[in-house]
Amino acid sequence: MKQISLHSRNTTYQIGIHRLGFLLHLYYGERTECDMSYLLQEYDRGFSGNPYDAGEDRTLSLDALPQEFPCYGTGDFRSAAFNVRNEQGVHGVDLRYVSHQIRRGKYALPGLPTVYEEETDLRKEQGAYTLEVTLADQNSGVEVVLFYGVLPELDVITRSAVVRNSGKGNIFINRMFGCTLDFLSGNYDLLHFHGRHTMERNVERVPVMHGKQSFGSRRGTSSHQHNPFAILAERETTEDCGSCYGMAFLYSGNFSFEVEQDQYRQVRMQMGMLDDMMDYQLSAGECLYVPETAMAYTKNGLSDLSHIFHRMIRGHVCRGRYKTVRRPVLINNWEATYLHFTGEKILRIAEQAAKLGVEMLVLDDGWFGKRDDDNSGLGDWSVNEKKLGMPLAELAEKIGEMGMQFGLWIEPEMVNEDSELYRQHPDWAFRIPGRQPCRGRNQLVLDFSRKEVVDHIFKQIAGVLDTVNVSYIKMDMNRSLTDIYTQTAESYQNYAKTMHGYVLGVYDFLERLIARYPNILIEGCSGGGGRFDAGMLYYTPQIWCSDDTDAIERIRIQHGTSFAYPISAVGSHVSAVPNHQTGRTTKLFTRSVVAMAGSFGYELDLNLISESERAEVKEQIADYKKYWNLIHNGRYYRLHDPERDREAAAWSFVAEDRGEMPLNVVKLDAHGNAPINYICCKGLEAGASYRCVEEKRSVKPYHGSEPRRDRKQLEGRIYDGAALMGAGVPIPMELGEYEAMQVHFIRVEESEP
């Protein structure tokens, strides 16, 4: 059997080409030079069909062989990656190997985000390379080219495809999973990330069972409910050891993930486009480029897998100026004012923020159209100078004179029925003729699958950005998609084509923004984390993590987010207390420690806090600037499990050279006469010594008869790296419920006393 082997620094991916042209999956795991086709064992299996051209060989069955791109209609009764029907309603396709080529450089996809290689990588001997495998069905004229992108230094392999209709009639794609991994054996757990609005990306680990387990989104976005990222881990895999595989879908629309264990205990893992109501029409000569999936494998546990995806997204998905530089510390007026503000009120917030070292003010929803509540104005992107009491350019200029940058909120995909845009172009919104639409937040969704709609909205918003000194855009999206009907000249409605076209329209809008305003930092948002995916990070290097700004809730949300996404991608702010979502009150220091696990900022009116708290804000901003390179570019370690560790939460940032570590702890529960809890660090050098150069913690007021002890127990001492990792760091008894501790360790050089 011929093989194609793809090698990264630590992994090998091997494909087999069967003598009858079937493309088989041989191996994905630790790097090897071995011919892995010896793993295939063929037997006569009852009720597993045989290809006709196998003749009397009843041992050959695709129902029991691992495949690269399994298709419906070939005798494989497991979940297919691809299914097509023709105009006569006949389902199925028999794709066989035609040819393959390997070329230097990483492939790209028109109109879609992809993992890319740096320009410096292009000159390397061991730079990225692409495998293209062409498959064809001689009967129908369907052709599929599979793309494999290999980034050796990252230990990442990407998968995509293009489907071409080379026949004469229409075909309809009913299922399109661009990435399939088949495993011949193993006991696995599935880790997936579920949630809801204001509680996104909760990690859930469940055993892979016989049958199919699936999740996805049919909401038009990747959604709050399920994130397009999943991990398949061997049953005994932990944070620190064991084999695990990750898949991240670089797409911001509907998606589906499936894992299936078959009758022979083989496991199939798949990621791709949602097949509910798919029926994607391709006319003769048309093609469909499939969104990309990024894969990674490690034998070193979940932390190492996360670090692979963090490096990939931070350096090879995110783009632009803000990929590497520190983002400005900002203040957003939303929770301070909501929609009820004037220009003077915004200036008062900015003035106090500037005094404390905040570097940017972001004006959120309400600056445009007729927008005094959320029932009107969306779609009318002209400045409401009457509400502001001044031109927007003047407001931005005055904020600039305070030494601050200016940012702006937009929601370009939405429209209110009470708007000039809707009155002039009601057909531009998704709405089924003769039926009342389903509203969300009392707004409708503009049909971004239509170029003229995207053109109009972009022209309006560019008209504002061209005249106002804007350094930052927060691009929001506040409802799910329903009533899908594109009111074009064609009477036939193709749901999948419209939904995919919508996502392509959003990407086109963002690409235009980036091209015209390359120095503007864009933050993605969809009611917080409703579109937090690797595809969106190609356009927006950070995303508002969640509309829930409560520090204790955010610990859980940010914990789950960290399995796939780097800290640099997480928008996280200090907000007011009692918290607006939960009513919980936490110390300002605790809120800052949690918010520093992201792109740091504030979501409150700093005029309303005490003088001592203002001094604390100054110190927080200084600390963030001091730590930002470690936070954004270091290795992030999860040091607790929210499902198991109810006493305290902990995480750390470790420098790539293992020479420095800020350790962060938040006490989640408090008890009388409690046992001491210890946090075991990770990622340090076992044979090195580390000095605790700073120990900070919040202080709980004491109500007893004796003064409360609040001594610094760690600062100034030297510790062995192995001890910090093996025995851990004690959490002080003085630390009360919802209080925090931040400890900074630096490696001691041999010459240092």
Q: Give the domain CATH number at 278.
A: 2.70.98.60
Structure confidence at residue 751 (pLDDT) = 57
Q: Write out the catalytic residue numbers.
A: 533, 613
Residue 228, in any domain of the structure: yes
Say which amino acid occupies 745.
F
Identify whether the C-beta of residue 297 lies closer than 8 Å to the C-beta of residue 245: yes
Provide the pLDDT for residue 77.
97
pTM of the entire predicted model = 0.97
- DSSP alpha helix (H) spans, 414-479: 420-424, 451-465
- Does 346 fall in a domain? no
Q: How far is the C-alpha of 145 from the C-alpha of 132, rounded, in Å?
A: 6
Confidence at residue 705, expressed as pLDDT on a 0 to 100 scale: 47
Last residue of a domain, one of 316, 343, 378: 316
Q: pLDDT of 304-344, one tens digit each?
A: 999 999 999 999 999 999 998 999 999 999 999 999 999 99
Q: Tell me, yes or no, whether 68 lies in a domain.
A: yes
pLDDT at 118: 85
CATH number where 673 lies:
2.60.40.1180
pLDDT of residue 713: 82
> Phi and psi at residue 348, in whole multiples of 5°?
-65, -40
Interior CA angle at 625 toward 622 and 630, to 5°?
A: 135
Sign of the C-alpha dihedral computed for residues 489, 495, 501 and 506 taken in this order: positive
The answer to the question of residue 560 being in a domain is no
Minimal CA–CA distance to 283: which of 175, 141, 161, 178?
141
Domain that holds residue 61: 2-316
- Listed residues 268, 293, 316: the one ending a domain: 316
Domain final residue, candidates 316, 334, 366? 316
Residue 438 maps to a domain:
no
The pLDDT value given to residue 489:
65
Question: Are 296 and 150 contacting, i.e. CB atoms less than 8 angstroms apart?
Answer: no
CB-hemisphere CA count at 13 Å for 52?
Answer: 2
Residue 437 neighbours by CB under 8 Å, 6+ apart: 429, 430, 431, 444, 482, 483
- Residue 302, domain member (yes or no): yes
pLDDT value, residue 120? 65
Rg of the chain taking only CA atoms, in angstroms: 27
| 106 within a domain of the structure (yes/no) | yes
Q: 201 in helix, strand or coil?
A: strand
pLDDT at 641: 93
φ/ψ of residue 2, rounded to 5: -75, 145
Instruction: Give the Cα separation of 682 and 724 in Å (integer).
Output: 8
Cβ contacts of residue 41 below 8 Å, gap of 6+? none
What is the sign of the dihedral through the CA atoms of 440, 511, 315 and 409? negative
Q: Which residues of the chain have pLDDT under 50?
A: 700-709
pLDDT of residue 395: 98
Based on the structure, what is the number of domains in the chain?
Answer: 2
For residues 495 and 376, give the distance between their C-alpha atoms in angstroms, rounded to a whole number: 28
**452 in a domain, yes or no?**
no
Write the Ramachandran bin of 155: left for phi over 0, alpha for psi from -120 to 50, otherwise beta: left
- Please name the amino acid found at residue 186: G
| Alpha carbon distance 46, 59 (integer Å) | 10
